[in-house]
Amino acid sequence: MRVGFRGGVLCAAMALTACGAGVDQAAGNTEGDDLLPTGKGAITLQQLSSVAEASAAKRPNGNGINYHGGPVILGTTNVHYIWYGNWSSGDKSILTTLAQGIGGSPYFNINTTYYNGSGTHVSNSVSYAGSANDNYSHGTSLSDAAIQSIVAAQNPTDTNGVYFVLTSADVNETSGFCTQYCGWHTRGTINGRDIKYAFIGNPARCPSACTNGTPPPNGSVGADGAASIISHELEEAVTDPDLNAWYDSRGFENADKCAWTFGSTYTTSNAGVANMNLGGRDYLIQRNWVNASGGFCAKSF
- pLDDT for position 36: 76
Q: How far apart are the C-alpha atoms of 90 and 21, rounded to whole Å?
A: 42
Residue 288, pLDDT > 50, answer yes
- pLDDT for position 46: 58
Q: How far apart are the C-alpha atoms of 264 and 276, rounded to whole Å?
A: 9
**Mean pLDDT, rounded, for 200-221:** 98
**Mean pLDDT, rounded, for 259-277:** 97
**Mean pLDDT, rounded, for 202-215:** 98
**Who contacts 241 (Cβ-Cβ below 8 Å, separation ≥6)?**
70, 71, 72, 73, 162, 187, 194, 196
- DSSP-assigned letters across all residues of 224-289: HHHHHHHHHHHHHHHHSTTSSSEE-TTS--TTBTTTT---S-EE-TTS-EESEEETTEEE----EE
Tell me how far the alpha carbon of residue 119 is from its chain's centroid. 23
pLDDT tens digit string along 134-168?
A: 999 999 999 999 999 999 999 999 999 999 999 99
- pLDDT for position 35: 75
Residue 6, pLDDT > 60, answer no
Residue 3, pLDDT > 90, answer no
Helix (H, G, I), strand (E, B) or coil at 208: helix
- pLDDT for position 37: 80
**Mean pLDDT, rounded, for 238-243:** 98
**Mean pLDDT, rounded, for 74-96:** 98
**Mean pLDDT, rounded, for 176-203:** 97
Helix (H, G, I), strand (E, B) or coil at 20: coil
Residue 115, pLDDT > 50, answer yes
Helix (H, G, I), strand (E, B) or coil at 173: strand
pLDDT above 70 covers what percent of the chain?
Answer: 82
pLDDT tens digit string along 99-111?
A: 999 999 999 999 9
Average pLDDT of every residue of the chain? 87
Residue 27, pLDDT > 50, answer no
Comparing C-alpha atoms, which of 190, 185, 220, 180 is closest to residue 203? 220
CB count in 10 Å sphere of residue 70: 18
Residue type, 23: V
| 274 touches 285 (CB < 8 A) | no
Largest CA distance in the chain: 50
Residue 296, pLDDT > 80, answer yes
Residue 53, pLDDT > 70, answer no
Q: How far apart are the C-alpha atoms of 8 and 38, rounded to whole Å?
A: 5
Residue 189, pLDDT > 70, answer yes
What pTM value is reported for the model?
A: 0.86
> What is the band of 19 on the pLDDT scale with cuts at 50, 70, 90?
very low
Residue 57, pLDDT > 80, answer no
**Mean pLDDT, rounded, for 275-280:** 98
